[in-house]
Amino acid sequence: MHCLLVLVIIIWLTPLGAAERSVALQAPLTTVVAVEHELPERIAALHVVLTVPDDAPADLGIGAFVTDDDGEWYQSLHPQVLSPGRHELRFATNSTANLHGAGHSGRWSSYRTTRTHRAGLVLWSASTSTAAITIHQLEAIADTSSAPSAAKPGLFDLRHHGATLSNDLLHIATGQRYQLSVRPDPFPVDPFKPERFALDLVISGPNTDLRIPGFYHQAVTLIDRGDYEQGIAESAAGFSVRWRPQFPGRYQLQLEARWGADHSISTALPDLDVSGAAWDDFVRVDPNDPRFFATGVATETSQFYWATAINARSVWDLRGAQRTASRLSPDRRWHAYEAYLDRWQAAGLGAAEVWMSSWNLALEWRDDWPDFPGLGRYSQINAERLDRLLDAAYARGIRINLVINNHGQASGKTDAEWRDNPYNAEIRAGTPGPVAQAQDFFTSPEALAGQEQLRRYLVARYADHPAILGWKLWTEMNLTAGRKEDLRTWHEQATQRWHALDAYGHPVTSHWSGNYRTPDRQIVAQNGIDYVCIDAYHGRRANRPGILLPDLFWHGLHHVNDNLSTYSKPVVITEYGGSSQACPEPQLIAEHHAGPWAALMAGYAVGPMLWWIEWVDQGEHYAPYTAISRFIAGEDMRSHPDAPSGGVELSATGATELWCRAWNRPGRILGYLLDPVWGYEGLIAEEHSAATIRIGSDVRAGPMALEWWDADTGTVLKHLDLKHPGGELTLTAPSFQRHIAFKLWRAGNN
């Protein structure tokens, strides 16, 4: 078998006539001769007629190649050397058996025939030669068949992953992923369209009747090149189905496949025996106190969920480098996230927001960008990156607020990306899409159908993963080109579909820029919006003092007129940190430290997510996450019918008046004091040697315990046992600067 050399020379051919060209060999380098005419949509074969001169090397070899739009090279090599004289050859290119990967272990398929980017010939020799080869004809022959033929449709190479098979019975534990993979034949030309081919796993068992859809799956190896990450296909592509059982028992499995309306088969699989206790580690809205999240809702083992969080929409941020003097991180995608995750875990971070943006983890974008096959076809390289991110995050106890669309994708003005959106009929390059204007992305039947197809794929591939905190449909939707009424209708329909498709019940949300006043209340109130995401930026203007960030947080849930708590839904701040253009570093440091404490006391469902990720990471500004995660460990802020809870404003005075808020449950208070001079813009704070907090004027008598916490480190400064005689209760804080926290609770059974 001949081996194709890595170094190649692409030949510019000199025309000899209407059909003839001449190419000089560049041996011992490999010579590449590309097809000059426009390639058909699908190629069945390459047809070549050429003449080899007498002075050509005796070991001259020839082969055909095709590359797909990921740049992956497939080739078919002629088994014999070319002797002097005229030759007419035909290389089939529409079959896995004909083409083999070079530099990777991927396999050609009928799907890849529709993604052919280049095609042509390769000529090689171990000898040095510049002999001139005459190419009389080099033509890519169109494949006009409707689909690859198969004597009888079938499913092949069935494999079970995550479960063991013994005595004709599959075994797995609750909470573990069961995945099966299979190769359909005929392989669908467009494997992302369910109307072309659909694979479903039908599951029946104890209190269970499910139909789990399958998805196209190309295994990918991700290679860290130091300054970027390369994805290379491995093995043959196929279809997979994923299911994560939550309850023990014996389940019957049926695999169903449909090739459009033409063919269908149904295959019984071995029963699946699920062992272990009932399991539910998905984050959902708490049914008893819908202001907060909980795990274990489905198994009645509800556990309060509150995590510190950061916005990690991508591994680098150009605006951050411009505004905070951070450096752009190398675009190593998954490998960069893996390193971030290790540091987040060490710091006590429990959640992060990640965007499926065109420059990060989107599955769909214009077809002339690296890693993207175009409209309606999903990047398997980015899909693999997201798989790994979710697995690694969950292993470290971190949940992902997964953003499906960022606002620029449907905007021609703010962070405009509509010009590159594959749905755009006037796209700058690549294949034009079906939508004339960005505002029509929310109403066009073609756009809505494409969004439903992507939604089905995302749910099929990722919905079983407990690392997903929730599906966030848009960032800053009010910055898109969508009309207000269209956005309302779009969200009502889209959230309904997400809930219908997702058997695991992940919460669904969307997001507005600005602050708590910005959200469209009609969308916030929709049943399909399970939680609300907002910004908390606050710019300052000349002659205007602005607002203290903790006050902005507090107003979001406690303002007398327009707060968001009236909707009884979790509220999450997913962007903050000065203004959208940052702020002076002393102010940013103060807001970064105070923000999580203020959010906790106000009753936000997750810690606020600072935007400036590279500033945090490169400057090792992780201490605020460690402090608050230690403080909240073991606490439960939820209300119960006989024990209501909520945020309260307390009166506190030190060397100056202090900002003081607390979260109050009967018998327990979590509190926080802040020097507003420092919190406002990071100025040097005074020493507060005897700050007092007035808890109330008519507090029931009894023993209490009081802990003062260092708000910078999350460690206990002082523990006191109190014997309150009843009536007014005032606490005196130990000496502190900047800020301090406390816990006060009834001791014993009082």
Mean pLDDT estimate for the chain: 93
Domains of the chain: 8-142 (2.60.120), 154-275 (2.60.40.10), 307-357+392-408+433-632 (3.20.20.80), 646-746 (2.60.40)
> 10, 128, 119: which is closest to 65 by C-alpha?
119
Mean pLDDT across 363-375: 92
396-450 pLDDT, tens digit each: 999 999 999 999 999 999 999 999 999 999 987 778 999 999 999 999 999 999 9
Structure tokens at 13: 């051919």
* Residue 750, pLDDT score: 59
Quickly list DSSP for 92-131: E-SSTTT-EEESSEEB--HHHHTTEEEEEEEEE-SS-B-P
Q: Which long-range contacts (CB under 8 A, 24 or more apart) does 681-685 make?
A: 681/584, 681/586, 681/587, 681/590, 682/584, 682/585, 682/586, 682/587, 682/588, 682/589, 682/590, 683/586, 685/737, 685/738
The pair of structure tokens assigned to 131 is: 């002999």
Flag whether pLDDT at 11 surpasses 60. Answer: no
The encoded tokens of residue 108 equal 């050609």
**pLDDT at 113 (0 to 100):** 72
**What single-letter DSSP state applies at residue 667?**
T
Is the pTM higher than 0.85? The answer reads: yes
Distance between CA atoms of residues 117 and 70, nearest Å: 9
The backbone torsions φ and ψ at residue 430, rounded to the nearest 5 degrees and listed phi first, read 85, -165
Q: Which amino acid is at 643?
A: A
Q: What's the residue count for the chain?
A: 750
The 10s digit of each residue's pLDDT in 236-277 is 899 999 999 999 999 999 999 999 998 999 999 999 999 999
pLDDT at 309 over 80: yes
The dihedral formed by the CA atoms of 271, 283, 353 and 428, expressed in degrees to the nearest 10: 50
Q: Is the peptide bond before 53 cis (omega within 30 degrees of 0)?
A: no
Q: How many CB atoms lie within 10 A of CB 417?
A: 21
Does the structure show a pLDDT above 80 at 19? no
Model pLDDT for residues 469-483, shown as the tens digit of each residue: 999 999 999 999 999
Note the pLDDT tens digit of each residue in 528-544. Answer: 999 999 999 998 765 56
What is the average per-residue pLDDT within 546-559?
Answer: 95
Q: Are 586 and 682 in contact (CB under 8 A)?
A: yes
Q: For residue 639, give Cα distances in angstroms to 292, 484, 563, 709.
A: 10, 35, 19, 24
Q: What is the pLDDT of residue 6?
A: 38
Q: Is 96 left (phi over 0), alpha (psi -120 to 50) or beta?
A: alpha
Q: What is the model's pLDDT at position 749?
A: 66
> Tokens for 229?
């990450």
3-state helix, strand, coil in the chain (%, to 5): 20, 35, 45
CA dihedral 357, 362, 364, 367 (to 10 degrees): 80
Phi, psi dihedrals of residue 292, rounded to the nearest 5°:
-130, 170
Q: Which two tokens stand for residue 736?
A: 């502190």
Question: Residue 497 pLDDT more than 50?
Answer: yes
Q: How many helices (H) and strands (E) does the chain have?
A: 12, 44
Rounded alpha-carbon distances, angstroms, from residue 224 to 262, 379, 446: 44, 18, 37
Tens-place pLDDT, residues 370-390: 899 999 999 999 999 999 999
pLDDT at residue number 3: 42
